[in-house]
């Protein structure tokens, strides 16, 4: 558990620096980044993890939110394209609005692309964390709108993939519209004689 840092502020930001095994730690000095994060205004807790996305890492986040009454969470790890949903769910489970979470990408856009420039990469990671914390300060809670899903599916293309997808959905009880450009379904497969590996007829 991270020691609580004393900061004169209502904002209580937690920063979680991920090593991602050696994916990040192999290039970036994560300890230096963590130490730097401690010096930033409003940051009251900093935790360094081997894998922040794994259960133990997520538990650290949840524990820190409770222990330090965090109201902003910054995770410095990989691209938000992979784990932003994971961490949003994690902070939501801990009772924090998921939009009060910010992700800093120090893997795809730092450690992996500056493997031969360890010091400069570490400096860049610090800058990115500083930027993420700055953004976190002004994040606002949001509520997601819930929209209904029309219970029907459109399948575009009546080749083997389209036919299979349409049948699976229809067998599951859903209304399916299968749109095919040609006058018949079948696609390329219908023009084949036999198909491997079973050597049976294609139609």
Q: Which stretch binds other proteins (CB under 8 A): 4-12, 43-51, 62-70, 106-114?
A: 106-114
The span from the CA of 94 to the CA of 82, in Å, is: 20
The span from the CA of 201 to the CA of 61, in Å, is: 56
Output DSSP code: residue 109: I
CB of 52 to other proteins, least distance (A): 17
Burial classification of residue 102, based on how many CB atoms lie within 10 Å of its CB (0-12 exposed, 13-18 middle, 19 or more buried): buried
Nearer to other proteins, 95 or 173 (CB): 173
Here the tokens at position 135 are: 């953004």
Nearer to other proteins, 6 or 194 (CB): 194
Number of residues lying near other proteins (CB under 8 A): 90
The span from the CA of 24 to the CA of 26, in Å, is: 5
Selected from 6, 55, 95, 193, the binder of other proteins by CB under 8 A is 193
The span from the CA of 84 to the CA of 89, in Å, is: 9
Q: Which stretch binds other proteins (CB under 8 A): 6-14, 42-50, 55-63, 141-149?
A: 141-149
- For position 124 contacting other proteins by CB under 8 A, the verdict is yes
Here the tokens at position 176 are: 């399916």
Nearer to other proteins, 94 or 112 (CB): 112
Contact string 144-183 vs other proteins (x = CB under 8 A):
xxxxxxxxxxxxxxxxxxxxxxxxxxxxxxxxxxxxxxxx
Q: Which stretch binds other proteins (CB under 8 A): 48-56, 58-66, 67-75, 140-148?
A: 140-148
Q: Which of 44, 42, 62, 43 is nearest to 52 (CA)?
A: 62
Binding residues among 16-75 for other proteins as defined by CB under 8 A:
none
């Amino acid at each position: 558990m991270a020691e609580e840092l004393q900061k004169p502020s209502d904002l209580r930001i937690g920063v979680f620096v991920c090593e991602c095994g050696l994916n990040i730690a192999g290039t970036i000095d994560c300890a230096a980044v963590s130490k730097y994060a401690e010096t930033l205004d409003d940051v009251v807790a900093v935790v360094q993890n081997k894998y922040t996305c794994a259960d133990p890492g997520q538990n650290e986040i949840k524990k820190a939110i409770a222990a330090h009454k965090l109201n902003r969470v910054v995770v410095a790890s990989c691209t938000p394209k992979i784990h932003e949903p994971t961490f949003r769910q994690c902070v939501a489970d801990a009772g924090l609005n998921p939009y009060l979470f910010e992700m800093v990408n120090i893997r795809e856009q730092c450690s992996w692309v500056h493997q031969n420039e360890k010091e400069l990469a570490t400096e860049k990671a610090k800058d990115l964390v500083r930027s993420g914390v700055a953004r976190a300060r002004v994040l606002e809670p949001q509520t997601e709108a819930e929209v209904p899903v029309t219970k029907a599916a459109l399948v575009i293309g009546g080749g083997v993939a389209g036919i299979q997808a349409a049948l699976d959905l229809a067998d599951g009880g859903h209304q399916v519209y299968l749109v095919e450009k040609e006058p018949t379904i079948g696609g390329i497969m219908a023009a084949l004689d036999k198909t491997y590996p079973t050597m049976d007829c294609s139609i």
